[in-house]
Amino acid sequence: MKNKEWLGADLIFDLDSDHLPGGEDLSYQDQLKLVKKKTQLLLEDFLMDDFGFEEKHMKLVFSGNRGYHIHVRKKEVFSLPRGARREIVDYITGTGISLSSIFPFDMIKVSEFKEHSKTELSYRFPPQQKGGWSRRAINLIKYALRRWSTMPEEKVIEEISDIPGIGPKTAIGLYDELYKEGKWKRILEKKRLDDLSESGKVNQKHFLKIFEEVIRDHSINELSLEFVGTTDEPVTGDTKRLIRLPTSIHGGSFLVVKPINFQDFDSFDPLKDTFIEVGGDSTYEIRLDKLPDEDYIVLNGNTFEFERNMKVPEYVVPFFAAKYQAKVL
């Protein structure tokens, strides 16, 4: 083994419905629908738009149970070390994002006395045509400002106060300036922050700091990118990660770990398109010692209502046995 050399590794993304915020309150079917939307967001907004990967460089696979794997297979990424791979995850989740480095700024003259003048720094929104986090940040700022304008004052202040480094006094001051003085509308209209001072109790840097955290939280919640394996090692950052083999059978569901063509992803239904064709028209009686929280499940277009004793066609028996520990009577 010591004479073998590491040749490279796919850049792998693992999205799992187990990691979706609030996913534990959803049925298995709804978890699968939600994680599919997150996978499409990661594919289209980040991997294709921001990183410029083409479909031919990526492989999309249903994990066989709770989510999807995306393999990026391009020679430029094969040799990326762990640190570089983790930086990609940091980018996607907005970790360490600095709006002050994204937003352009001007020096504006605010006062003048004789030959002396005072200038202040004024951040402005990046051009609308810019992509990546510039576009994403502007959209999230607009969304948050409008959302806060419809919420009770105490809820907004509480939400802002929870941000690390922002105390209640700053939160109250920012709320007063944005909503009691109406500056939030002027910021959106003018697309710049000069209505807030450069320094003082509430300033432009406070505003940017707050939204850096808002953007990070939104990104993580929106994408639900946990990337954590059994050893708490980030999946995407690990160059020696074992990932489930495409076309194998998942032991927790007896569904196929199925590669998916990108053009078929919209219509792909994991509870219809991943069953193994086994058996014939026979039916079996099965028993569920513990009933799921959901009332029914749709498998291959057929609806099965959960009961303690059920009669089901042969092809779904392995699924019920693996997924819900059903016993064949």
- Residue for token digits 């999309």? 60
Same domain, 145 and 212: yes
Residue 226 in this model has a pLDDT that exceeds 60: no
Same domain, 66 and 140: no
Position with higher pLDDT, 59 vs 23: 59
Return d(Cα 272, Cα 301) in angstroms, integer: 7
Same domain, 263 and 286: no
Q: How many domains does the chain have?
A: 3
Query: Exposure pattern of 277-302 as b/e (b: 16+ CB <10 Å)?
Result: eeeeeeebebebeeeeeeeebebeee
Same domain, 279 and 183: no
Position with higher pLDDT, 152 vs 218: 152
- Residue 322's pLDDT band, with cuts at 50, 70 and 90, is very high
| Maximum average pLDDT range among 91-100, 147-156, 160-169 | 147-156
pLDDT at residue 2, rounded to an integer? 82
Residue 8 in this model has a pLDDT that exceeds 90: no
Average pLDDT, the chain: 85
Find the mean pLDDT for residues 118-123.
74
Of 53, 90, 51, 91, give the one whose Cα is nearest residue 73.
Answer: 53
Same domain, 66 and 116: no
The number of C-alpha atoms within 13 Å of 290 and in the hemisphere containing its C-beta is: 6
pLDDT tens by residue, 167-209? 888 899 989 989 999 999 999 998 988 888 777 777 888 888 8
Catalytic residue among 16, 194, 195, 238: 16
Tokens of 324: 């819900």
Residue 125 in this model has a pLDDT that exceeds 90: no
Catalytic: 295?
no
Same domain, 140 and 41: no
231 lies in some domain: no
Same domain, 202 and 122: yes
281 lies in some domain: yes
User: In sequence order, what E strands does the chain have?
Assistant: 11-16, 58-62, 67-72, 105-113, 116-123, 259-260, 283-287, 296-299, 302-305, 309-313, 327-328
- Residue 230's pLDDT band, with cuts at 50, 70 and 90, is very low
pLDDT at residue 223, rounded to an integer? 65
Same domain, 108 and 54: no
**Domain interval for residue 175:** 99-218
Catalytic residue among 30, 90, 232, 295: 232
Residue 110 in this model has a pLDDT that exceeds 50: yes
Residue 227 in this model has a pLDDT that exceeds 70: no
132 lies in some domain: yes
Percent residues over pLDDT 90 in the chain = 40
Catalytic: 232?
yes
Residue 42 in this model has a pLDDT that exceeds 60: yes
Same domain, 205 and 255: no
234 lies in some domain: no
196 lies in some domain: yes
- Residue 26's pLDDT band, with cuts at 50, 70 and 90, is confident
Catalytic residue among 10, 14, 194, 195: 14
Complete DSSP assignment for 85-127: HHHHHHHHHTTT--HHHHS-EEEEEEEEETTEEEEEEEEBPPP
Find the mean pLDDT for residues 275-302.
88
329 lies in some domain: yes
Percent residues over pLDDT 70 in the chain = 88
Catalytic: 16?
yes
